[in-house]
Amino acid sequence: MVTPPVGSGVRGSTRAKRDTVAADPSIATTKASLDAVDCRSPVTAPVDAANVACVIAPANARSARASTVTTKAPGTLEALMRESGFKAPPGFRATVRTIELSADRTRILRETIVHYKPASAAWKPASTVKLYAAVAALERAKELGFSPDVEVTFHYKKRAYTTTLRELVTKSLGPSRNAEHNLLVQLVGYDRLNAAFFSPAKGFEGSAIRFAYSGDKSTRLWNDLGGPNRLNRSPPITLRERGRQVRLEGENGEASGTCRGAVCTSLRDLSECLRRVMLHEKLPPNERFALDNASLALLRQTLSLGGSRGRSTVKPLAEGIGREGVKLYHKPGEAQGWFSNNIFIELPGSSSVYVVTLAAQVKKKKTGELEEAARIIGELIDDGEI
């Protein structure tokens, strides 16, 4: 996992600024207005709906095991970050989940979700969505009776290409190679991915992957194979492991939806997917991906390495938290002037874990404003304000 150094000397600046700026009544948010209320109980005192975190907590341990806690918190994160003097870069958006675990860390007690909503829905999630294809491909292999070490051969018209599922997942999530991501989508199958995997049953509300990714060094491999621009077409595929073989016929997918871009997703879907990967054992069975221990270990190990692109947010996030031994798992993305990261956080000695998902437009890869956002979010986490 990524464990960036702490103690950069910047830590106190935004926290002090938050105390000062809060004195301005035009942007101040009182502690009382940020307190969580049970949304199922009648509210007897006036509250500012834009700054209240509505928490639906389980009535008892049995109900906590039976269903996941749902939460809403419109406006809270934006108000807190503004109190720190934060000026949002173009398109900035963020979602932070605080997930409180039981003392034995075997189940989720409750979750609080806060959002920083952008002025426009336009966004380029880039490589963050590669986690989706990796999870779906590992599910597909398990369903067919194979492990992550299964050998996979793609029978293109130009030539066959043989690799392993483990290599595809590692290269797609680690160095974030586009060709391996495209191959994972084809292994899953276009219709299976966009109609069955991207469904409410799997925790998704509005995601799709339609077109191949290109533009990096791996594009040469994709072009050499004759890989299509639209991923609804896939070649015959053979899976082999320990003397057993299964052949999947090529397909022309027809799944359609409201997505009109190369990919569509939301911070909410990214956060939910990472939550399910990292907290699999603590979730009720109906909320778990169909993954075995080997698949979970592969995903978590690869996410723990992250990528060099994502360090511009994970490092300041850890500095904002300011504790030794912080563990971070993440999948960043960068494309067409947008930078995003999806981060799972474990704090030493804490019963809570966090998922921070954020994105913004950056100029010429200058991520200073996004670094500042990550640092402020880290401080808010450390202070227990989110």
One domain for residues 139 and 76 = no
- The per-residue pLDDT for 57 is 40
Residue 363 pLDDT grade (very low, low, confident, very high; cuts 50, 70, 90): confident
- Tally of CA atoms within 13 A in the half-sphere of 384 that contains its CB: 7
Domain end: 210, 239, 263, which one?
Answer: 263
Domain count, the chain: 2
Q: Do 244 and 344 fall into the same domain? A: no
Residue 291, pLDDT above cutoff 50: yes
Report d(CA 320, CA 322) in Å as an integer: 5
Kindly report which listed range (124-133, 179-188, 206-215, 357-366) carries the lowest average pLDDT score. Answer: 357-366
Kindly tell me if the per-residue pLDDT of 106 is higher than 90.
yes
Q: Give the residues across from 153 on adjacent strands.
A: 162, 238
User: Are residues 109 and 67 in contact, defined by beta-carbon separation less than 8 angstroms?
Assistant: no
Who wins on pLDDT, 339 or 67?
Answer: 339
In a domain, 306, yes or no: no
Residue 305 in any domain: the answer is: no
Is 196 within the bounds of a domain?
yes
Q: Check residues 118 and 316 and name the one with the higher pLDDT.
A: 316
Both 12 and 109 in one domain: the answer is yes
CA 37, 43, 45, 48 torsion-angle sign: positive
Examine the domain organization and report whether 208 and 246 are in the same domain.
yes
Confidence of residue 257 (pLDDT cuts 50, 70, 90): confident
59 and 88, same domain (yes or no):
yes
Question: Does residue 167 share a domain with residue 88?
Answer: no
List the structure tokens of 2.
């990524």
Going by pLDDT thresholds of 50, 70 and 90, the confidence category of residue 21 is very low
Specify the pLDDT at position 50: 32
Is residue 309 a part of any domain in this protein? no
Residue type, 239: L
pLDDT score of 359 more than 50: yes
Please tell me the predicted confidence (pLDDT) of residue 308: 65
Q: Is the dihedral of CA 219, 224, 229, 235 positive or negative?
A: negative
d(CA 354, CA 99): 6
Which pair of tokens denotes residue 350?
A: 């804490």
CA dist list (Å): 279 to 8, 66, 127, 317, 356: 31, 15, 22, 21, 15
**pLDDT single digits (tens) 28-84:** 333 333 333 333 333 333 323 333 333 434 333 333 344 445 454 567 899 999 999
Both 259 and 137 in a single domain?
yes
Other Cβ atoms closer than 10 A to 61: 11
344: left (phi over 0), alpha (psi -120 to 50) or beta: beta
Residue type, 49: A
Residues 6+ apart with CB under 8 A from 75: 50, 51, 115
Of 208, 237, 263, the domain-final residue? 263
Same domain, 132 and 189: yes
Claim to verify: residue 158 and residue 196 sit in the same structural domain: yes
Q: How confident is the model at residue 5 (pLDDT cuts 50, 70, 90)?
A: low
Contact by Cβ (8 Å): 380, 386: yes
pLDDT at residue number 38: 34
Joined together, the tokens standing for residue 58 give 């389980």
- Provide mean pLDDT across the span 115-122: 80
Q: Do 145 and 251 have their domain in common?
A: yes
Residue 28: predicted pLDDT: 38
In a domain, 271, yes or no: no
Q: Two tokens at 151?
A: 């050998």
Alpha-carbon Rg for the chain, nearest whole angstrom, is 21
Q: Are residues 137 and 66 in the same domain?
A: no
User: pLDDT at position 56, please?
Assistant: 34
Query: Is 278 part of any domain?
Result: no
Residue ranges making up the domain that contains 73: 1-46+55-119+336-386
Q: Is 181 helix (H, G, I), strand (E, B) or coil?
A: helix
pLDDT at residue 20 above 50?
Answer: no
Percent with pLDDT over 90 in the chain: 69
Angle between helix axes 267-278 and 293-305 (nearest 10 degrees) is 120
* pLDDT of the residue at 305: 86
Q: Does 139 lie in the same domain as 42? A: no
Q: CA geometry: angle at 296 spanning 93 and 305, to 5°?
A: 60
| pLDDT tens-digit map of 215-242 | 999 999 999 999 999 999 999 999 999 9
Instruction: Examine residue 384 and state whether it is found in any structural domain, yes or no.
Output: yes
* Average pLDDT of the residues of the chain: 84
* Domain assignment of residue 357, yes or no: yes
Amino acid at 77: L
CA nearest neighbour of 160 among 242, 214, 237: 237
322 in Cβ contact with 11 (< 8 Å): yes
Regarding beta strands 37-38 and 54-55, do their DSSP bridges make them parallel or antiparallel, or are they unpaired? parallel
- What is the identity of the amino acid at 283? L
User: Looking at 248, 263, 278, which one is the last position of a domain?
Assistant: 263
Q: Look at residue 16 in the predicted model and tell me its pLDDT.
A: 57
For residues 65 and 72, is the Cβ–Cβ distance under 8 A? no
Structure tokens at 224: 């050499």
Q: With pLDDT > 70 as the criterion, what percentage of the chain qualifies?
A: 78
